[in-house]
Structure formats: C-alpha cells, structure tokens
Amino acid sequence: MRKLLVRLGLIAAVIALVGGCAGQGGDESEVGGDFTFVSPGGQTRIFYPENERGTVRGLSGDDLMREGEQIGLDDFKGQVVVLNIWGSWCGPCRAEADDLQAVQDELGPKGAQVLGIDVRDSRSAAQDFHRDRKLTYPSIFDPSGRTLLQLRNFPRATVPATIILDRQHRVAAIFLTEMLKDELMPEVQKVLDEKA
C-alpha cells in the first residue's frame, strides 16, 4: 500500500510540474496568442519583449460615467492603452489618479489612452472620485470583477495595478503597484516609440 501511495504521489508531482511548465514556458502568450497572466514570483514590475507579448481581446464593460453605455479596448484601436485597475476606496489609487491624468494629457495626443477599470466599488463613490479629481479618461465600472476575468488569470485582488498595452493591444508591461507619473510616463513613451 505504501509503494502505491508513493507512486501516486510521484505521478501527481509530475502532472503538477508539467502543468506548471506549460503555463510558464510554452503558453500561447509567448507566440503572439491571447494573453494569460503567469504569476511573477514576487515581482511587481513585469516587462514583455515584443516577440513574447500576448494579446488582450474583447475587454469591455459598463462605462462608469455614461450609464447604459459600454466601453472597451475596441474603442481605442491602434492606440497604446494604459489599463489602470483602481477603486475609490484605495489609498494608493488616490495618489496615482493625478499622475494617470498627466499621462493622458501629455501622451494622449501622441496615441496613448488611459482606461480605468473600477473594481469593488459603488457607482456613486467611483463617479464622485472621478469628478473630484477632474479625470478626463474613461473607466469601466466593474464592481463584480467580471471585466477583469477577461485578463485571464490576472490577480483580481491586486489594486492598484497598471497594464500597458501596445498598439496591437498586446501586453508590454504590468505594474502590480502604484505608479506615479515619473515612473509611468517613460514606460508608456517607450511603447509609443515602437514601430507599428
């Protein structure tokens, strides 16, 4: 019986190892397929070379400020999109909102677009947050996290988080931390400077 348990344990370990390797080395995001988030092993800043970027497709949801309307990546074809996951209840989100607006103001004319994803929030609190800070970039209202599910395997509890998508809406960088203008602006500019 003991030998059988040891063999079953070894088989389970091999299956887990093979499954883990498939998620890290051979997933479709590395060959230009759809993006699937792979745990960064404690890293908070992750960069993807152009030939290893996975595409985010179909990300959309309810427009925070225009009730009854939808907004999503398809509204920003050919633009570098800076996805920012935030909530009005989040202290670091308050700190970075002005910085995201500065990125929109300075790099918007060059082809960048900030798009927020408001999570675990009430619409009225999120709208007040948006108005009080005079934010002009749009946000998806996503209190249930349904929109975040479109970012396969992305950690829904990580707020704030910022994802830079290139002009083909492939993931160029992920920041699992607060990002201020001085840090974010050069990273967005690098992606804007890439050849289309």
**Global pTM value:** 0.82
Q: Distance of CA 45 to CAs 6, 175, 177, Å?
A: 39, 5, 8
Paired strand residues for 46 = 174
pLDDT of 143 higher than 60: yes
Query: Do the beta carbons of residue 145 and residue 61 sit within 8 Å?
Result: no
pLDDT in tens, 65-123: 999 999 999 999 999 999 999 999 999 999 999 999 999 999 999 999 999 999 999 99
CATH 3.30.70.890 fits 32-193, yes or no: no
Q: Distance of CA 133 to CAs 75, 84, 102, Å?
A: 23, 15, 12
* Structure confidence at residue 33 (pLDDT): 83
- Higher pLDDT: 31 or 112? It is 112
CA atoms 187, 192, 162, 66: torsion sign: positive
User: Strand 45-47 and strand 60-63: pairing?
Assistant: unpaired
